[in-house]
Amino acid sequence: MARRTDRRPGGRWRSFLRGRLPVLVTLPLLLVSAQYATAQHTVGADDRKTARTADSAPGASHPGVRAPLPGGLGPCLGPACPDVHPPVNNDAIAGRDEAVNIFVGGDFRVRGGAAEAEGLVVTLGGFDQNKSRGGAAYNVGEVGVGSRVPPPAGSDWLVTGGDLTVADRQRLLAEGGVVRHGGTLTGTVAAARTVADPDATARYRDLRGELSDASSCYAHGDDGTGRAATGTAVNQGETTVFTGDGSSMLQVFNVDFDLVGPGGRQQGLRFDDIPAGATVLVNLLGTARTINTYSGELADTAPLNQLRPRLLWNFPDAGTVDLIGTGQFQGSVLIGNRDSQTLVTLPGVNGRFFTTGSVTHGGDTGPSGQEFHAYPFLGDLPDCAREPEPRGEVSVTKRDAEDEEPLAGAVFQLWRESNDTPGLQTGGDDPDTRVGDACVTDDDGRCADTVELGTYYWQELAPPDGYDLPDPAVFGPLVLTAENAADGVGVTAYNRETEEPQESGEVSVTKLDADTEEPLAGAVFQLWRETNGREGLQTRGANPDTRVGSTCETDAEGRCDATVDLGTYYWQELAPPDGYDLPDPAVFGPLVLDEQGAVTGVGVTAYNRATEEDGTATLTVLKRDLKTGEPLPGAVFELWRETNGRPGLQTGGGTPDERVDAGCATDDAGECVFEDLPTGSYYLRETDVPEGYLMPLRPVSGPYALDAGQSESKTVTLNNRPGERDKGKGKGKRLAAHPDH
């Protein structure tokens, strides 16, 4: 294996800002007109502990400019709010904010190289973290780099209505706060406390409808005919220019195109003729919208940054929203379509982020270290207050089909019709919308939920004990309208008692050597029953077949068997005996156990071939100075073997490649030697660099093919460019560097 020498921490970068500022400052800057610049408006001027009232706000005399966002969202809340939110930094905590910074009406997904979400995060659906690059951690609440105004210590930092899932070998960090989850928690969460609370999001549920209504009103007006614009927006190719009227304290822009450059590339964003203190409302109209921009900076001296406290980007109708590019995006975001999917891969989003749909933070493209930064919204928006839409109860009552007695213990899931396809669709690319968690009928046989107007279905997931699941197991549609909301709508679902169990029989598999036909002990099998009506075995997806019992290991006679009800079965081989290859395919069946087969049982013979002996080889890494060619000690490498059949190195997800060695540091001769390696393809992943050198932009090299019987080791030379690195905390941010490998 690897020959290890001294491991030094020199490769750990020391400060996010010192490494990133020089790169960002060289990007094209967002321009603003002289008229706006001479107004001398600064971010700090309006960035106070609470928002001003409508009567005292600039433009209060203008009709309709009277209201904040629904639910009191927007301003910083609590006694510890700072007078001024500092620009993006990694200094000491500047204050505490009790307000929601990120609200998600659907699911919150963390993917790609996403790094952190500052402030209180609330998602009515689930929270799912499964990153593919940029480190294994994701921070919520308090982050390493941002406004440095997190929620109070010990308060809620993340609240989920559904399941909270963190992928294997990854971590969700909320170390000073509470993570409150309505569903199950799976994976590693580092928090002051984790609290299982089925009513975790109860206080936030109305926000989804209120934000959706407000988003529509801001763009389409109270009567739905459209809100009048005060300015124009023109996509000039490399820049989209927003030109205001120079006087209105609510500047409205209606945009029916993507903010992208030629060919979908990045472009700049420029605002002209915006009065100091004016609220800027940008309505991006259409069913799908993209912003791809380099505009916005870390320093708040930039013109776009100075608009941030009163700038709102509103997407009232879009089902797909992409916020991409390399800029430090400025201003708050509101997405009103409850069925929407939003992708955010910008390095920074600076402002409140409120979507009534779902959001995916991070992706396979764009820079790693993508972040949400907590900054308040203090704008004065159109007054869209209206009577709340009525809500009503949707119920199901479970009864015995013979005596009509109520039945407790049936499990139901409520669904809302959302895809305009008749009937209930629970899978596929465009399913209907799941409402809340599953419900178990009480002693009165009832399940009920109070919901907004719409069309609903109850899906029975499991019958009461001793009863059969009805076919079909979907009840509805139930149409809840303004006229019947006060009384509610319901349906009665009947179940019949299960008849005497069907005759059972034995299903077996016998494992033999493919050449000698000798029985083989030690193979591991799982039995599955055909239940989804699709040909062949499906072990995953929305509707897999049914796993039967636990795994079985073949005995000395090479047998696994199980006594089961009549039906169709498959044996899946999970692991071969020692010294043997797993067959391809590794599924044996179908085995049809009918009344005749139950007498003698049904079985299948599965053959395995002995694994051919592989030779071994050696891989040597030579680390050199890019300019001088001198050997460099102290570079640290991981060695990974290609095992999942997918091009390139995968270190996370469900089927990563195999890490062979967790770390080898180059010695004084600049060498790392990995010995006794099985033949195959390998990747080198540089995790630390020598003191005084930059981490390469592409720290992964390979694949390197190693063949048995090589008389000499395969030698790989990798170079590093000298350069200064940061000396601060930074919490997992990567430095911009050079592709030196």
For the stretch 386-397, pLDDT in tens is: 667 789 999 999
Give the model confidence (pLDDT) of 589-643 as tens digits: 999 999 888 888 999 999 999 887 656 788 999 999 999 999 999 999 999 999 9
Tell me, what's the pLDDT at 4? 35
- Report the alpha-carbon distance of residue 59 to residue 671 in Å, rounded: 69
**pLDDT for 728 beyond 90:** no
Contacts of 720 (CB under 8 A, 6+ apart): 623, 624, 625, 626, 632, 635, 689, 690, 693, 694, 696, 740
Q: Is the pLDDT of residue 153 over 70?
A: yes
- 101-114: per-residue pLDDT in tens? 999 999 999 999 99
Percent of the chain past pLDDT 90, that is, above it, reads: 78
Q: What angle do CA 490, 491, 493 make, to 5 degrees?
A: 145
pLDDT tops 70 at residue 24: no
Strand, coil or helix: 304: helix
How far, rounded to the nearest angstrom, does the alpha carbon of residue 551 sit from its chain's CA centroid? 32
End-to-end CA distance of the chain: 24
Q: Give the integer Cα–Cα distance in Å for 546 and 564.
A: 13
Kindly give, in sequence order, each residue whose CB lies less than 8 Å from that of residue 104, ignoring residues fewer than 6 positions away.
121, 122, 123, 124, 125, 355, 357, 358, 359
Least confident of 288-292, 344-348, 597-601: 597-601
The CATH architecture of the domain made up of 391-495 is Sandwich (2.60)
What average pLDDT does this structure show over 432-443? 95
Residue 33 has pLDDT above 60, yes or no: no
Provide mean pLDDT across the span 369-377. Answer: 97
Cβ atoms of residues 251 and 274 within 8 Å? yes
Tell me: pLDDT of 93 over 80.
yes
Residue 3 CA to residue 663 CA, distance in Å, equals: 10
Weakest mean pLDDT among 64-68, 133-137, 279-283, 735-739:
735-739
Q: Are 665 and 9 in contact (CB under 8 A)?
A: no
3-state secondary structure 306-340: HHHHHEEEEECCCCEEEEEECCEEECEEEECCCCC
E-strand stretches of 47-170: 65-67, 100-104, 108-110, 114-118, 120-123, 127-129, 137-141, 156-160, 164-166
For residue 264, give the DSSP letter.
G
Q: Please name which of 463, 486, 482 lies closest in space to residue 396, comparing C-alpha atoms.
A: 463
Domain boundaries, the chain: 34-382, 391-495, 504-608, 613-720
With 0-12 / 13-18 / 19 or more C-beta atoms within 10 angstroms meaning exposed / middle / buried, residue 403 is: exposed
CA pair distance 417, 423, nearest whole angstrom: 8
d(CA 15, CA 729): 6
- Interstrand relation of 232-235 and 411-416 (parallel, antiparallel or unpaired): unpaired
pTM surpassing 0.75? Answer: no
Average pLDDT over residues 664-690: 92
552, amino acid identity: C
Measured from the Cβ of residue 538, the count of other Cβ atoms closer than 10 Å reads 16
pLDDT over 60 (residue 304): yes
Query: What rounded mean pLDDT belongs to the chain?
Result: 87
Distance from C-alpha of 89 to C-alpha of 152, rounded to nearest angstrom: 19
Q: Report whether pLDDT(43) > 80.
A: no
Torsion of CA 423, 428, 429, 431, to 10 degrees: 30
pLDDT at 678: 86
Q: Which of 518, 516, 512, 515 is nearest to 607 (CA)?
A: 512
- Band of pLDDT at residue 202, cut at 50, 70 and 90: very high
Checking if the pLDDT of 258 tops 80, the result is yes
Query: What are 513's strand-pairing partners?
Result: 608
Quote the tokens at residue 590: 């179908």
Please give the CATH architecture assigned to the domain spanning 613-720.
Sandwich (2.60)
Q: 54 falls in which pLDDT band (50, 70, 90)?
A: very low
Please state which of the ranges 195-199, 238-242, 387-391 shows the lowest mean pLDDT. 387-391
CA distances from 310 to 58, 61, 233, 570 (A): 11, 18, 18, 61
Q: Give residues with Cβ within 8 angstroms of 605, minimum separation 6.
A: 509, 510, 511, 512
The CATH number of the domain covering residues in 504-608: 2.60.40.10
Which DSSP helix (H) or strand (E) runs through 37?
A: helix 34-37
- Evaluate if residue 319 carries a pLDDT over 50: yes
Domains 504-608 and 613-720 alike in fold: yes
| Mean pLDDT, range 162-188, rounded to an integer | 98
C-alpha span between 547 and 566 (Å, rounded) = 15
Cβ distance 703 to 683 under 8 Å?
yes
Residue ranges of alpha helices (H) inside 279-438 are 303-307
Q: Which of 319-333, 356-370, 495-509, 517-531 has the lowest mean pLDDT?
A: 495-509
137: tokens are 């951690």
